[in-house]
């Protein structure tokens, strides 16, 4: 699917602010794909669709999680996690994208997971560092992202876990698995 067609499908699903965020994620993902040798078209497509389900009603997302045998433990965690796996399902069934690499990059862009692929890492980090983001720690991750993607990902996941701990929120098991995988892998290097 070409960029303009994909953007045309996504735009009505998002607020203007979230659409601008999506453009930033898309541009950043393409830059990272070029730098790290990933498929630029897949990075672009996954980035465009990463928040496709962001504004779907919670009841609709909950229903899809239950009916489509998505991990039930999602329902025990903050609903902000839900739009990623629900989005992957909807992108496949509404937009007709069947590339598993692209769908997984969408599916895991909020939680991460152990053994993330290059494309998954790129979309996860691009979502965190896109130019419209402004919060403590983002500049450090931006710099790292263009030096060492795994270190940038580790810092992103660490920051996310710290944020959740400060808010007294549960940490999704896939996020902990991503952190542990990255720490073990980086410590072995």
- Contact between residue 125 and residue 153 where contact means Cβ atoms under 8 Å apart: yes
pLDDT tens digits along 151-163: 999 999 999 999 9
Fold of domain 3-188: Hypothetical protein af1432 (1.10.3210)
CA-closest candidate to residue 172, choices 113, 98, 120: 113
Comparing CA positions, the residue from 116, 160, 126, 107 lying closest to residue 24 is 126
* Segment 88-106, tens digit of pLDDT: 999 999 999 999 999 999 9
Whether pTM > 0.75 for this model: the answer is yes
179, 157 Cβ separation under 8 angstroms: yes
Say if residues 126 and 161 touch (Cβ distance below 8 Å): no
């Amino acid at each position: 699917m070409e960029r303009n067609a994909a953007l045309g499908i996504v735009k009505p699903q998002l607020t203007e602010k979230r659409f601008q965020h999506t453009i930033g994620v898309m541009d950043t993902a393409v830059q990272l794909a070029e730098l790290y040798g990933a498929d630029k078209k897949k990075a672009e497509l996954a980035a465009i669709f990463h928040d496709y389900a962001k504004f779907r009603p919670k009841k609709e997302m909950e229903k899809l999680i239950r009916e489509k045998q998505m991990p039930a433990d999602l329902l025990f965690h903050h609903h902000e996690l839900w739009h990623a796996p629900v989005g992957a399902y909807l992108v496949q069934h509404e937009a007709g994208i069947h590339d598993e690499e692209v769908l997984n990059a969408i599916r895991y862009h909020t939680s991460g997971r152990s053994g993330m692929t290059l494309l998954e890492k790129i979309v996860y980090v691009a979502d965190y560092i896109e130019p419209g983001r402004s919060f403590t720690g983002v500049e450090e991750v931006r710099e790292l992202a263009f030096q060492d993607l795994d270190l940038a990902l580790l810092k992103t996941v660490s920051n996310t876990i710290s944020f959740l701990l400060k808010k007294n929120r549960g940490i999704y098991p896939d996020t902990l698995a991503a952190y542990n995988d990255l720490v073990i892998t980086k410590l072995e290097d």
